[in-house]
Chain A
Amino acid sequence: MLEIDWFLGLSAIMFSIGIIGVLIRRNAVVIFMCVELMLNAVNLSLVSFSSFHGNIDGQILVFFALAVAAAEAVVGLAIIIAIFRNNLTVDVGEINLLRW
């Protein structure tokens, strides 16, 4: 039968893959997708705790996290479009306006 450790392990592995992706990729859109992957990993651990405890509050929290993730994706992609319009690149190695 399924144990909760397996779900938490899968969540941990996916979160770490997201971290590695944020660190090694240079395309801003892919970095953003890796952030979404990390959000999904945390959602998975919330849902597994909710189901194994028999308490629905964790699933409600995942619902609100989904709404916040949607808002974050919209604003972040708008910022990426604005940056691309000014710099003609989405390479985070070349966007250095705020670097001193």
Chain B
Amino acid sequence: MIVYLFIMLAVLAIASALAMIINKNVVNSALFLVLNMVSLAGIYLLLNAQFLAVIQILVYAGAIMVLFLFVIMLLNVEDEEKLFNKFRFKYLLAFFLGVAVVGQIFYSIAGVTNVLPEISANMAEIGTVEAVGDVLFTKYLLPFEMTAILLTAAVVGALMVAQYKIKKG
């Protein structure tokens, strides 16, 4: 049962990723990326990482993709007309480069496949909000606080970059 669920979610993730890169309309691409992230959240649930599944939907599919959609609406970009209409050398090059990367990663996975771990026994307990929060606020407290500084710096920097005119003096 769980295998069929994984196969369904994996096919959904791959299909939506492919649809994202071959879609001419930018808004459709963004919505396919949302579908991809929702199916990834389902895969996180299969891995018993409940906290990350919720965060994936809240932060990625919620906040970041809404930001993308706002920017797309703001820019008012038109569809790319000649996406696949005429054959181009760079598409072939991109395809073979992608296949080469997949081959390399699969080869390296196949090389270590007999030393990969089995499913951990305490897999069900480690992904809960309680366990994640327990580690996050004790062992990783300093990186957590630095994340706050990083986000503040990012917001200030984005305001400075995107502002129309910066008043002098």
Contacts and interface: CB of A to CB of B under 8 A. Distances in A.
A95 interface: no
Contacts of A15: 101, 105
A52 B123 contact: yes
Interface of A: 1-10, 12-21, 23-27, 29-30, 32-34, 36-37, 40, 43-44, 47-48, 50-57, 59-60, 62-64, 66-75, 77-82, 84-85, 90
A44 B126 contact: no
Interface SS of chain A: helix, strand, loop or mixed? helix
A66 B60 contact: yes
A80 B71 contact: yes
9 contacts: A17-B18, A18-B17, A40-B37, A47-B44, A56-B126, A59-B127, A66-B59, A67-B150, A77-B68
Contact of B162 (A6, A43, A44, A81): A81
Contacts of A30: 20-21, 26, 29
Contacts of B136: 60, 63
B36 A78 contact: no
Contacts of B116: 3-5, 52
B20 A33 contact: yes
A54 B99 CA distance: 32
Nearest 6 pairs between A and B by C-beta?
Answer: A54-B120, A71-B154, A21-B21, A23-B94, A78-B158, A12-B105
A81 B3 CA distance: 43
B52 A75 contact: no
Contacts of A80: 71, 75
Nearest to A80: B71
B151 A29 contact: no
Contacts of B85: none
B8 interface: no
Contacts of B98: 16-17, 19-20, 23
Interface string B1-42: 011001000100110011011000010011001001100100
